[in-house]
Structure 1
Amino acid sequence: MERLSDWMTRIFLMLILIIVTLPIVLGYAWLLISTFSRRTFGLIPVNARGAFGGFTLQNWSFLKDPLIWQVTLNTLIFALGITVGVIVLSASAGYALSRMNFPGRRFTLTLTLLLHAFPSITLLLAIYFVLRWISALPVIGGLFGYNTLGGVTLVSIAMQLPLGIWLMKGFFDHVPWDMERAALIDGCSRFQAWWKVVMPQIRPGVFALAIFSFIQGWGYYSFLIPYSFMIDQTRGTISTYLNNMISTTSPVNYGQVAAVGLFQLIPVLLFFLLAQKYLLRIFSGGMKGTA
């Protein structure tokens, strides 16, 4: 009877999993079909001769456009910049919040969560004036000011830092203090103990946060900042390229839009499939941090 109950529970869970994932899988399949369809109504492939509009590679002609490769390189630099910045700053701040007692520590933790919950769109005007001010500075303005890839990268790092800090604090909380104390007794400096003893223990967590940050930077999630503060298309990302294709083309070629979307999706999808077990650590480890 107990075995029958376990069997029924498994079937029920499998049905729930199928119900949840089927729309997602069908969405990806429909996107793929649309990229090779001769005609589309919106993103629905149509043709009098066939349900899927006939096979064509014309929608992938955007690959001949030099701009797509420029924005792909920009997107890679943007995503890697966000990843490195978030990891370095989050690891430093998360360690301090986990290991050190200082005035305002609990307030800083609370503020970190509040900043993560704050809608980024409400900060656009303030960010605009800050980037404009930076643009007026010699040397730095040309690298990190308005309409620069460096500027939007720094802003995006700042937007992702609250979550990164909180997650890294959770990972550090799971490292026994005795290990670090033993390293200090053996003659290690605080930095050496952090780098040689603590960091190897949370390496999977760091890798998970790096993957998460890269996906955020590569995907459509970071579209708002580049689109708002970069007017030069050659400095944009794939997300801004896709948006310009929709907003400036009339009528919109939705087959080509689907192809560009799939082109952007493929690296992230492969990256996620290879590293999904590390992403689970964000929820199994990072969220367990205590104040």
Structure 2
Amino acid sequence: MTAQTFTKTTEISAVSPPRSRRTLGNRVDGQRRLWNGVAVIAIVVLVFPIYWMINTALSENENLFTRTPRFFPFPISLDSFAGILVDDGFWSALGMSAGVTSVVVIVAVLFGFFAAIAVSRFRFRGGGFIILLVLIVQMIPTEALFISQFRMLDGWSLLNSVGGLSILYVGAIVPFTVWLLRGFIHGIPPELEEAAMVDGCSRFGAFIRVTLPLLGPGIVTASVFSFLQAWNEYTLALVVMTKPGNATLPLWLQTFSSDLSATDWAGIMAGATLISVPVVILFLIVQGRLGAGMMAGAVKG
């Protein structure tokens, strides 16, 4: 072998990657394609019910009972949405749900916020028991409390009222809100408040100026959780709101039917679509802070 041939062979070996490296790269690419395919399938599975809900809402009733499913709503019909918007029951249920949800979000977040501060920043006898009690309360099935909750509200004359249903929702949501915000507060070092107090701030001023802004993502996350629980809850409302005129949106959606006493699937799906609109708008508004809050809550506390 001449020196020139040996030099060219050496250069080719130096430039060409080893076979094991190419094999490893192909394996990594194959795994990436596999996981990408799994992700696409998961997204399709999650999005398809929403798509089918909108598809059904935009379809005519006679097209819903054909043997061959229609994946595209042609011709598009808005009759179901028009029928809901002129229904007084929808607006009454919307007002009831909006009132209950507003009260629950404000009260649950405030109570959970102050309780989380107490168990996170102060040392007192029984603090550990309170945290344990919060966990135990979350383990109790909601259905096991229906009878006692109904009798309690009946004794207070709070059945079929915004206040009565809000009390039950707040009691169910506050334990998780305390646990959630406790994780965020634990992730903020107390030394930051102490440094602000050294600079002349009072304890309350240090908390307002230093700690509270850092708790923004946690408060947003707790508010969204409270909103979703109160807006979509069905079983407690079914027990407490016994009068048709005092139904929340999930209860009103259950009773939505056509004049022939048959299930109006297009109307139900149109109502479900309208109920979902405030949730979508809320997520679009707070998606940035909500993502940061969920990531922070996953690693703190």
TM range (shorter): 0.7 to 0.9
Say if 2:188 is the partner of 1:175.
yes
Q: Which residue is equivalent to 1:243?
A: 254
- Between stretches 187-196 and 153-162, larger displacement belongs to 187-196
Question: Any stretches of 5+ residues in structure 1 without a counterpart?
Answer: 136-144
- How many Å apart are 1:9 and its aligned residue? 4.2
- How many Å apart are 1:191 and its aligned residue? 3.0
Question: Are the equivalent residues in 1 in contact too, given 2:220–2:293 (CA < 8 A)?
Answer: no
- Between stretches 223-232 and 152-161, larger displacement belongs to 223-232
Say if 2:54 is the partner of 1:32.
yes
Q: Which residue is equivalent to 1:85?
A: 107
Identity of aligned residues (%): 23
C-alpha root-mean-square deviation of aligned residues, in Å? 2.6
Question: Are the equivalent residues in 2 in contact too, given 1:212–1:279 (CA < 8 A)?
Answer: no
In the superposition, relative to structure 1, how do residues 47 and 167 fare at CA in structure 2: closer, same or farther (>3 Å)? Answer: same
Cα shift readout 1:60-93 (whole Å, capped 9, x = no counterpart): 2121012211211221222221111121111100
Instruction: Report the number of matched residues.
Output: 276
One-letter identity of the residue aligned with 1:211: V
Alignment partner for residue 75 of structure 1, among 79, 97, 100? Answer: 97
Q: Which residue is equivalent to 1:46?
A: 65
In the superposition, relative to structure 1, how do residues 154 and 246 fare at CA in structure 2: closer, same or farther (>3 Å)? Answer: farther
Cα shift readout 1:148-175 (whole Å, capped 9, x = no counterpart): 1111012101101111000101000111
Cα shift readout 1:86-128 (whole Å, capped 9, x = no counterpart): 2111110011111111111112111111212221111111111
Question: Are the equivalent residues in 1 in contact too, given 2:217–2:293 (CA < 8 A)?
Answer: no
Query: TM-score, normalised on structure 2?
Result: 0.82
One-letter identity of the residue aligned with 1:72: L
Say if 2:220 is the partner of 1:199.
no
One-letter identity of the residue aligned with 1:270: I
Distance in 1 of aligned mates of 2:154 and 2:130: 29
Q: Which residue is equivalent to 1:140?
A: none
Q: Which residue is equivalent to 2:234?
A: 223
Q: Which residue is equivalent to 2:128?
A: 106
Cα shift readout 1:242-271 (whole Å, capped 9, x = no counterpart): 122269982111111111111111221232
